[in-house]
Structure formats: C-alpha cells, structure tokens
Chain A
Amino acid sequence: MTTATDAVQPGETPVLEAVGVTKRYGDLTVVDDVSLRVRAGETISLLGPSGAGKSSFLRCLNLLEPFDEGHVFLDGELLGYRPHRGRLRELSDRQLNRQRRHIGMVFQQFNLFAHKTVLENLVEAPIGVLGVDAEVARKEARDLLDQVGLADKEHVYPAQLSGGQQQRVAIARALAMHPKVMLFDEPTSALDPELVSEVLDVMKSLAASGMTMVVVTHEIGFAREVCDRFVFMERGAVVEVGAGASLAVDQVTHERTRAFLSRVL
C-alpha cells in the first residue's frame, strides 16, 4: 500500500527514517517533532518559507547539527547513539564518522576544498577515509566528472569554476563515497538564475538513476516534476506531506501550503 504520506511498504526497512526529531535553541523550537520515512530510490523535497526549519532538519539527518529529541535511522541502524544499559550512549567521533560516510551532503555554498583541484576534491575522502586505491579512486572520480559534464575540469581549482560548475563538482564529490542517501541543502539558492538548470539537470538524472534523495529547495517546478513526495514545513513542524506531482495551488490540501504556493508560484 503506497500512500502519499508514507511510501514505505509493510516489512520494508526505510533507507532513512527520522522519528520525532526536535531541535531547540533556548526557547525557540526550530525543528518540532518531525518524522519522515524515506524509501529506497525515493526523492523527497522539503519545502517551506525561510526559517521553517527545513535546513536545520536536513542537517540533523546526518548529525551535522545535534538535536534534542528524536532519532534518525539509516538502513535501520540508529545514528549517533547505541543502547547501553538501558540508555542511549553517544557514539565516539570515530564511529560517528563511520556512519556519516554513507550519507552524501550537498551544501548551498558548495564548500569545495579551495586548496585542492577538482579531482583532488573528489578523491580526498575515498582514499583517506574509505582506503580506496588511489588509481581506482581517480578513475572513478573521472567517471563521475564525466557524469556531471565536467570531464575537462579535473585539474582546475574551485575558484576558477562558475557556481553551477562548483555545485556539480560538489555533487560528484558526495557521490564518490557511494552514499546510501543524498541530502541537498538548497543546492541552487546561491546560483545565478541562468546556472540553476545545469545543477537541477544533474539532480534530475541522479533521481532517475534510483538515488535516494532529500532536497531542501525553493524550486517548486523541480519538486513537482522530479520528487516523489513533498514535505511542507512551517515554524519547524510538518504541515503537509503529499505527492510531488500534486504541488499546485488547487491540488494541495492544507490551507497554509496553498498560501505558500500561491506566493512562490
């Protein structure tokens, strides 16, 4: 049984599952009891006005941001903690890094390593963290660069690339770790308008290839066309979850989602 709010089949383990994730800054609750189950191969968009807590929630998913309540599971494995004598004990940094390498992250500001060439950016973690043979890693990195349309840029430094090119390198860098899921934090918000589509195209083909993706975005068109489901958030809480294709003012069910869409469409 597949519904718009939860596509996970009975007996199936979701690739990524968040249960009641809550994050507070003092009195301010920026992520309020958010739960989400992401099925293998699904693409999910997180929508909402700025300050809705979408990015904070996304950063909780790979534990870049510590949160106060709730749990995140990757392929059924609890992230960041392990049960120990009836309590949840924090994992060591080493164990945390071991879990994080399975989650790819793409940032709004690209965050490419400025002192390394494009190719060095791609092979740094596979060689240093996964222990992949350098030649193998380089070959794979070249294949990935080819996939994102930047095969000729391997010896160039990030500062010499356009924003769109940098973001495509950043996507390739995350893919080089063979992640189980890819998180995108407003990947096109820092780009000049004419560069947005080249990044969205890469993401589109990535989704088509079966990658599991969670995307914080303001690109409603992309969310409607590419994403299986959307999650609309406001003030830290989930307001509505629905099928991506139903992202239109006259099709969403919640009043606040409708108000948001009519503002941005």
Chain B
Amino acid sequence: MTTPIPTTAPTPADVIGMRRSKPLPVLRTVYAVVIVVAVLAVLRSLAGNEALDWPTVREYFFDPAVMEGLRRTLVITVLAIVIAIVLGVVVANMRLSKNPVLRGSSWTYVWFFRSIPLLVLLVLAYNLSLVYPEITISIPFGPELFSTSTQDLVSPMVAAVAAFGLQQAAYTSEVLRASIQSVPVGQREAAAALGMSHARTMWRIVLPQAMRVAIPPVANETINLLKATSLVAFISVPDLLYSVQQIYSSTFQVVPLLLVATLWYMVIVSVLSGLQYLIERRLRRAPGRRTARPTAVAELADKELS
C-alpha cells in the first residue's frame, strides 16, 4: 500500500504534504564504530595492565615529596609567566615605538632569547656565578651601594624563574605585538582625536582589545611553559618530575611514578584550559554577540508566537 515512486520528475502536487527524511549516514556510522572500538581496546589494555600498577599510583599520588614538587612546578610556572607577560608588554611596546634605539633593543632582546636553547639558558643562569662571581649595584662609575656573591643571590629556583621568564617574554612579546597591531588603526585615531595620551590610549583602548586576540596563544604558551619547567631537573630543582624520579630511582617503580607526574600535569593543564575558556568567555561578552543573539531569538519567538 505504499505510494508508487513516480517515474517522471515530481510535480508540486506530488511532494506537497510529504514528510522529510535523511539517508542513513553509512560512512559516519562506520567511522564512529571504528573509533569507539579502538578507544575501548586502548582503555582495556591500560585498565588491566599490571605494569601500570594503579595501587602504587594511588599510593604516591598525594605523597608529600610529590606535593612539594608540584608546588615548585606551579611556583616556577606562575612567576615565569607573570614576568613574561609584564616584560612582554614592555618589549612589544618598545618594538612598536617611534624611537629607533628602543625598536632595535627590543628586536635584539627577542633575537637573543629565541636563539638560545632553553636548556642552555637554564644551565647558564644556574652557573651565572662562573661569569659574574659578584653582583654589585652602584652608581655607574661611582660608589658601590650593594654587593653580594652571585651564588647567594641566584639560587636554583631564582635561576629557573629568571631563565623561563626571560625566554618566555621574548615569545610572548611577539604574540602581544601581533595582537596590538591587530587592533584597527581607527581606534587609535579616534582616541588621538579625543586628545587621549599615548599611554592612556594603549591602556584603555588598545590593550583591552588586543587581549581578546592574545588570550588563546598566551594560554598555549603557559601550558607549554608548565611542561617545559620539567627541565629544572638539570639544575637539581626538585619539581614535580624530578621528585618522582627521585622516588623511582630507589623503588624502581618507574612507570607508575611517571604516571603520577603525568596525571598531575594533566590536572593542571585541564585547570588552565578551563581558566582560558572562562577568560575568553568573559572578554567575548564585550562586543555584544552574546547578548545580541538572545535578542534576535526573542524577536523571532515573538514573531512566531503572535
């Protein structure tokens, strides 16, 4: 009792009143099944794998040494990224300055710190006392105000924060420069026409808009930096990775302890990603798309209902 399929092209009379349907998504279904099966297989191989030794993972997950390492990792990351952003804003603005000396030194800074491998920079900072045994603050060519031995001042933690902060500032300044340049020049002209100073224009008009562009790459760099801090093992700072290494060097439970570190890194990255999402959402509110849409929907609803 089905409707016969018309042999000629359907006329309006044929199709009016027919319900719509979609063809079966054959390929899409195949892909989905393949992926789900693969994921299940991997999960099963991990869950039932003795080598992972989940009880040991659980045992060391909140171990005081691991917690202390985690704290150091976080301290280095946070201090370094704060230095990177503050210094990055300065270096980016120098690069965009009219003053050729400022432009040149900014360019040189970025060139220098991007040229040195992070590990080399880290070890150099750690061994700064070999180059400068003493650090002295004095009036140039005048009397000495303060002097101390480099070894006292530059602890391994200080060396790590300085190395990561200074290098990250070079990268971040480039991100910020691009973000600042992405703000339409008309915004600056409008501010100038209103008699606003350079500093005020930058702070109130340009930077807030540049931040919207800068957040995703800066978040990327923060996450990258977090994991790069594991290099501090080379200068014997007991961070997250180094503290689990110290444990497994005596217990030989290599894989479960690496899992402990990995899981912690994943936890922090997840938190950072969530933070990024929140900041982006907050900044996106400004140009009004989020509030515009509900209005449009409401208008449509009004029309439909009336």
Q: Is the CB of A177 within 8 A of B194?
A: yes
A136 CB–B CB distance under 8 Å = no
A-B pair count, CB < 8 Å, reads 85
Give the contact stretch, choosing among A105-113, A142-150, A211-219, A236-244.
A105-113
CB pair B194 A115 closer than 8 Å: no
Contact status B291-A93, CB under 8 Å: no
| Distance (whole angstroms) from the CB of B296 to the closest CB of chain A | 10
B194 touches A159 (CB 8 A): no
Q: Which of A94, A111, A129 contacts B189 (CB 8 A)?
A: A111
A124 to B187, CA, bound (A): 13
Binary A-proximity of B266-295 (CB < 8 A = 1, otherwise 0): 000000000000000000001111011001
* With A109-B186, A113-B205, A114-B187: A62-B193 Cβ-Cβ less than 8 Å: yes
Return chain B residues, CB-CB under 8 Å to A100: 192-195
What is the interface residue range for chain A against chain B?
A: 20 to 34
Q: Which residues of B contact A158 (CB under 8 A)?
A: 287-288
Q: With contacts A107-B186, A111-B190, A115-B287 known, is A124 near B204, CB below 8 A? A: yes
Q: Which residues of A contact B291 (CB under 8 A)?
A: 157, 160
Could you give, for residues 196-210 of chain B, a 1 whenever the CB lies within 8 Å of some chain A CB and a 0 otherwise? 111010001100110
Interface size class of B (residues with CB under 8 A): 20 to 34
Closest B residue, CB atoms, query A105:
B193
B282 to chain A, nearest CB (A): 12
Q: A82 contacts the other chain (Cβ, under 8 Å)? A: no
Residues of B within 8 A of A (CB): 184, 186-187, 189-198, 200, 204-205, 208-209, 212, 286-289, 291-292, 295
Given contacts A129-B195, A160-B288, 20 further A-B contacts (CB under 8 A): A62-B193, A64-B192, A64-B193, A93-B197, A97-B192, A97-B195, A97-B197, A100-B195, A103-B193, A104-B193, A111-B186, A114-B209, A115-B208, A115-B286, A115-B287, A116-B286, A124-B196, A128-B200, A170-B190, A173-B194
